[in-house]
Amino acid sequence: MTSEEPGGRDAVRPEIALSWKRSQLSGVDPGRGFDASPADDLDLSGRLLRAARPVLDEVGVQIAGTELCVLLADPDCRIVARVFDNRAVERHMERLGAVLGSRFGEDRAGTNALGTPLEVRRGVVINGEEHFLEQFKGLSCYGHPIIHPVTHRVEGILDLTCIAPQANSLFAPFLQRAAADIERRLLEGARASEQRLVDAFQRVSPQRQVAVTAIGEDILLSNRAALDLLDVADHAALRGLATDLRPDQSRTVELELASGERAQVRADRIAGTDGGTLFLVQPVRRPATPIRRGTARTSSPAADRVRTELERLRDSRDALVICGEPGSGRSTAVRDVAGTSMVHRHDATRIAVQGIESWSRDVARSLRRSDAVVVIDQVQLLPEPVHPLVAEAIASGDPRILLTSGPEADLAAPIAALVSRCPERLVLPPLRQRRAELPEIARAMLDEIMPGVRLSATALEALTAAQWPGNLTELRVVLTKAARSCAGSRITVADLPDRYRSPGRVARLAGRERAERQAIVDALTECGGNKVHAAEQLGISRSTLYARIRALEITV
């Protein structure tokens, strides 16, 4: 695009020309009306508004009699607060769409003093004719981003608007001071958040018989008992316990520590601490169950169930189906159940290459070996002509039949009917449902890959944040690459492949945000990093995508 407006007027400032180009690429029509479409999921009690309210109250006094208005938008460019000099200005701005919840990203409203500062991360003056949409050309504004002093994330945008063709030169210094005041209060709020967590820790830490640790955004406190009892891997597991807790909510669970000792853990989410949680850890005094080399220690009810089931199934002769996602440990479970027996494996994926008749003959030969265990992998891929052969083998009970399949919910009706003939069934949970165990699973894998190499606390948190669609297989690939890349005996975040270098805060995202983050990462990967195409694929605006990338700390 040239430095002329779509309507063909005179040259404009380069930053305005670039904003017009972004607006055009987003499909904004300069002559169309602005569709406010207010959001209904605004956070009107978050830290941005807590920090901004006293400043906005003071600004309201200062703009009295000026015919001005001040708008505050969140990181998604949605208006969350408004201050007007008088009712006439308020009515005028509302007619233009400036209502609570309305989205002013450049992809919806074109060049404006909310969306444009969000895109460029600095203050911008937008005079009347520099607006992209015709309906805003009667306004002149200055917008300034509010940037957190510690995280350097854009927390919001402050906008000062007048109904005039030109903005006053004093707009910028006035609004910059207001934005700086909000940023200072954000920093003070972060310090207050840390102090509340420290206070909660100090109230309970003198207990000599209980390990007490407090974990916040950038703070970790431990009493002497916790220092003696907990390992780096345990801190990552504790963070995972607090992921879905609401402020003032508690949870008590039993888990296995990195040392192999089991402990009862109470997690208390401390209100007003931006996710800070207090943990009380008491060892359960009973002998730890020996763990075979190469097998991860369990630390969740689901894992305990699987371990108990495996122990029972080793002594059984009944046909068994093992269900789970690819990479969830189906082959390992087969080896565990089969034990020292001779194993004949037949993979259904080979039918496409080998042909049904040849593959079936191989299976039939194996079924004549009563001293063996016959394994049929990927039964969800079996064509219907093979079903009677497998059904007859299950019914005979000699030799023992082990089937592996994808998740139960994904099985077609004929396959579900086939596997239902097995008297035994074992369901393996995906790795994303075993986050509390991930530190020990990773430790066990590293013992096999490169003994002596360990993960740093931040690397553990980053791995805990991943979604692991490839489950244990994917984790092994990542750890193998990282172990070969690290300079010493400790794997840091820098040693992990790029897509796994999520900040530690990501590990504490709630389930919905975690899923949203993974969807964005997947879309960006599929689109080769092109944010415009990724936004189209996700069905969201480009400015919303940018805002969510920043909020969810996605590295692209």
Amino acid identity for residue 259 in this structure? S
Residue where one domain finishes, among candidates 145, 170, 189: 189
In a domain, 398, yes or no: yes
- pLDDT tens per residue across all 556 residues of the chain: 444 445 444 578 999 999 999 988 888 888 887 777 787 767 676 788 888 988 999 999 999 999 999 999 999 899 999 999 999 999 999 999 999 999 999 988 999 999 999 999 999 999 999 999 999 999 999 999 999 887 788 899 999 999 999 999 999 999 999 999 999 888 887 777 788 888 888 888 777 678 999 888 767 888 888 887 888 778 878 887 777 777 778 888 888 887 778 889 999 988 877 778 999 998 886 544 443 433 334 345 556 677 788 888 888 889 999 999 998 889 889 998 888 888 899 999 999 899 999 999 999 999 988 788 999 999 999 999 999 999 999 998 889 999 999 998 889 999 999 999 999 999 988 888 787 788 888 888 998 899 888 888 778 878 887 778 889 999 999 999 999 888 878 888 888 887 787 655 555 555 566 667 777 877 887 787 788 888 888 877 777 787 777 777 676 5
Cα–Cα distance, 222 to 201 (Å, whole number): 8
- Note the pLDDT of residue 460: 82
Cα–Cα distance, 233 to 261 (Å, whole number): 13
Residue where one domain finishes, among candidates 397, 432, 467: 432
Find out whether 123 and 173 touch, Cβ atoms under 8 Å: no
Find out whether 550 and 556 touch, Cβ atoms under 8 Å: no
Cα–Cα distance, 98 to 493 (Å, whole number): 43
Residue where one domain finishes, among candidates 403, 432, 461: 432
In a domain, 403, yes or no: yes
- How many residues are given for the chain? 556
Quick one: 446 and 335 in the same domain? no
Count of domains forming the chain: 4
In a domain, 5, yes or no: no
Q: CA nearest 438: which of 308, 336, 323, 300? A: 300
Quick one: 163 and 25 in the same domain? yes
Phi-psi region of 97 (alpha: psi -120 to 50; beta: other; left: phi over 0): left
Quick one: 75 and 207 in the same domain? no
Q: Give the CATH number for residue 398.
A: 3.40.50.300
Q: Give the CATH number for residue 28.
A: 3.30.450.40
Quick one: 38 and 153 in the same domain? yes
- Note the pLDDT of residue 505: 53
Q: Does the bond joining 469 to the residue before it have cis omega, within 30 degrees of 0?
A: no
In a domain, 8, yes or no: no
Cα–Cα distance, 15 to 331 (Å, whole number): 58
Quick one: 325 and 467 in the same domain? no
- Note the pLDDT of residue 11: 74
In a domain, 296, yes or no: no
- What residues make up the domain containing 417? 301-432
Quick one: 442 and 421 in the same domain? no
Quick one: 273 and 310 in the same domain? no
In a domain, 2, yes or no: no
Quick one: 110 and 28 in the same domain? yes
Residue 382 tokens read as: 């079996």
Quick one: 342 and 459 in the same domain? no
Q: Is the pTM of this model over 0.85?
A: no
Quick one: 83 and 45 in the same domain? yes
Quick one: 420 and 493 in the same domain? no
> Which residue, chain included where needed, has tokens 């059904």?
391
Cα–Cα distance, 278 to 292 (Å, whole number): 33
Hey, how many other C-beta atoms are within 10 angstroms of the C-beta on 385?
11
Find out whether 155 and 147 touch, Cβ atoms under 8 Å: yes
In a domain, 81, yes or no: yes
